[in-house]
Each structure stands twice: as structure tokens, then as C-alpha cells.
Amino acid sequence: MMKLIKTFKLISVLAVLITAISCSEDEPSVVRSAQCGEFVVLSTSGYNGTPSSSFSILEAELVEDCLTLTVSASGCSGNTWQGTIYAADYEIVNAEVVFDARLDVVNIEACTAVPSTEMVFDVSSLQVSGENSVMISIDGWNADLVYSY
């Protein structure tokens, strides 16, 4: 019985070591804090599958891990709108890490007014191991945003 317990312990230690060794340093690291709201979803298929929407991005501000977008569209108040940002896998452009991102807004309001609302997203999921900043290029916004961490 003691031999069986020692064998089980040895197998457990080996499994932990193999798991630790097999992790690649080249893979992007993902920090999960959600201190700002919904996370940016890192999904190339989500990015490619997000249609061009009938809204405008009026303002984009990045402060620490929080991306705040002011969005305008036809609707009643904007209070019921739900937003998701999808980011495609990053590319290296001119020695900079760049994420292309697209906002998807679900707007079921049937009014003719054109309100605006703020949407806040946690961009910490875009941190790349070995880098201290990345560029975020949001479809519909006129300038790239530098996310430093």
C-alpha cells in the first residue's frame, strides 16, 4: 500500500512538471481582472463575424486597462444597448503589436432619436507576454489607441 501511495505521488509530481514545461512563453498571456466591465473577446472568428453596424463611435479613451467608447445610434435612450468588442489575433506591424478590433452593438430599441451611451471594456486580455504595450485599431474609430501595461 505504501508503494502505491509513493507511486501516485511521483506520478502527480511528474504530471505537474510536464504541464509547467509544456507551456509556451510565446503564447499571449491573459490577465483576468474585469475591473472595467466586459472583457475584450480575443477571437478572430468573432471579429470576422461581426457585421458593420449602424452606430458611430463618438469618442474612445483608454485609461489603464479600461477602454471607454461613447457610441451613438438611433434608439430610445441607449440604456438597453449591449456591446461586445472582438479582437483578431495580433499582428506585428512596423515592430508594433497591433490588434484589430470591432465593436458589436445589440440595439433593439425602435425609436427615431439618436442617443449616445458609454460602454466600458477591460482590455487586459490583450496583454502580450514580453511586450509592455500594444496598439488597438478599432473599426469605426479614426486613430489607433496605445495600450501600455
DSSP for 4-17 reads HHHHHHHHHHHHHH
Is the residue at 88 inside a domain?
yes
Is the residue at 91 inside a domain?
yes
Task: Give the three cell numbers for residue 68.
Answer: 471607454
Handedness of CA 138, 140, 145, 149 (dihedral sign): negative
Per the structure, how many domains does the chain have? 1
Say which CATH number the domain at 42 has: 2.60.40.2370
Global pTM value: 0.70
- pLDDT tens string 117-149: 999 999 999 999 999 999 999 999 999 999 999
Q: Domain limits at 129?
A: 38-148
- pLDDT tens string 28-68: 333 444 578 889 999 999 999 988 778 999 999 999 999 99
